[in-house]
Structure 1
Amino acid sequence: MGIGVTGVILLVLVALLLFGPNKLPELGRAVGRTLREFKTGANEMLDSNDKKNEDTSRVEVNQVEQTEKNNKRLPD
Structure 2
Amino acid sequence: MLTTQKRKFALALMSGKNKTASAIAAGYSAKTARVKGSQLAKDPEVLAFIARKQCETVEVDEVPVYRQKKSEQEV
State the TM-score bracket (shorter-chain normalisation). 0.3 to 0.5
- The structure with the largest alpha-carbon Rg is 1
The structure whose RCO (Cα within 8 Å, separation 6+) is larger is 2
TM-score norm. by structure 1 comes to: 0.45
